[in-house]
Chain A
């Protein structure tokens, strides 16, 4: 039986090298590959291009990689809530490409579906359209956007089996399934690693064919960015 299990995050990311392009799943701090980020910081890989919806916060998530100056370029849709990011951007140390969130997701999807490009209406008539091919379909303009080409995709799932099948939880799913499909090499860290047969085939979100390495992560902090609660239970 195919077995994609590696020992830990260090083993999973061992061949990521300086200058690589990596995708990181997550929305804000929700569903981010915490263990792999820690391992990349430890390894000290430099000049990375990171494709991720957000850039973490100062002391968590991708913010940790920014702090250790490992990121050359961020491709994101929204990068607020990060003072170190802002500092590096203003000082010119960091290159940033901001793209619409749906374009980001769909450029991942295209890569995973084996399509070179997509057409989207997002950004038509704005500075996002500058230098891009525009085509009119049925009276409406669309921008040509290219599929991403990433060396590695690093995703976080709730459960996974040793063959690489993945199940995500709630809104921690977000970009993880489409990035899992898009990487030349896809690394999945999961909260619960199980044996083949333990996951219901009908309920698998990402088929193992897309996943090259999998391991059970540890010590998940799962930090909450905006804790909002009601104080009284009626």
Chain B
């Protein structure tokens, strides 16, 4: 079974040289720590930056330089700033190669729910709806079961949707899935996980393809 860093490390293998990548908040942010040596990618932050660098050194932080999670960050050689309309313009136009984000639920046809739980305070979708509606390749990083022990890989999402028919791949603590032809195709098992574990944690249509 993978921990959060293990999930991030596994997703980092999906990042190819030359890609422009948008990382969501949470586990996706950790992916930046595991991008292999020799793979050069440009991280896009939707508040208006291409070429996001690491956190600044203590005392060198700049209030005018943050990422979409409102964390202080740095730029790298070759970075570029732009306004929010251009930022989402490049997202909509398909210039961003890969989007990695978290989810509360994913359905077997690739629908994703990650912004709203009825009855709880709703904070908003931020840029998630724009990203999932337009990105060429969307990978979801998530825990496969919720705190109540229920599967988050479903036949149909029960929560309000963020986007439809858009998720291509999912990496959880238990395994890696491709989402296609109306099913979750298990293509990798995490260390120490059995097919029985996978079946118990998958509510939607499952195809074993390991």
Contacts and interface: CB of A to CB of B under 8 A. Distances in A.
Interface of A: 27-31, 53, 76-80, 86, 89-90, 98, 100-106, 108-109, 120-128, 158, 168-178, 205, 222-233
B84 A53 contact: yes
B160 A230 contact: no
Contacts of B128: 100
Contacts of A100: 125-130
A127 B113 CA distance: 12
Contacts of B46: 101-102
B161 interface: yes
Given A90-B121, A100-B128, 7 more contacts: A29-B70, A76-B124, A89-B121, A170-B81, A178-B84, A229-B55, A230-B55
B127 A77 contact: yes
Interface string B116-138: 00000111111111100110000
A126 B161 contact: yes
Interface in B51-69: 54-69
A225 B57 CA distance: 17
- Counting chain B residues whose Cβ lies within 8 A of the other chain, the interface size class is 35 or more
Contacts of A109: 85
A105 B122 contact: no
Contact of B83 (A90, A176, A222): A176
B160 A177 contact: no
B137 to A, nearest CB: 15
A233 B47 CA distance: 27
B102 to A, nearest CB: 15
A76 to B, nearest CB: 6
A101 B132 CA distance: 12
B72 A230 contact: no
Interface string B64-103: 1111111111010000011111011101100000000000
Contacts of A80: 123-124
A172 B129 contact: no
A173 B124 contact: no
A205 B86 CA distance: 12
A121 B92 contact: yes
B168 to A, nearest CB: 16
20 contacts: A28-B47, A53-B84, A77-B126, A78-B126, A79-B124, A98-B122, A100-B125, A102-B87, A103-B129, A106-B88, A121-B92, A122-B129, A126-B163, A127-B161, A170-B81, A171-B45, A171-B47, A171-B49, A175-B84, A229-B61
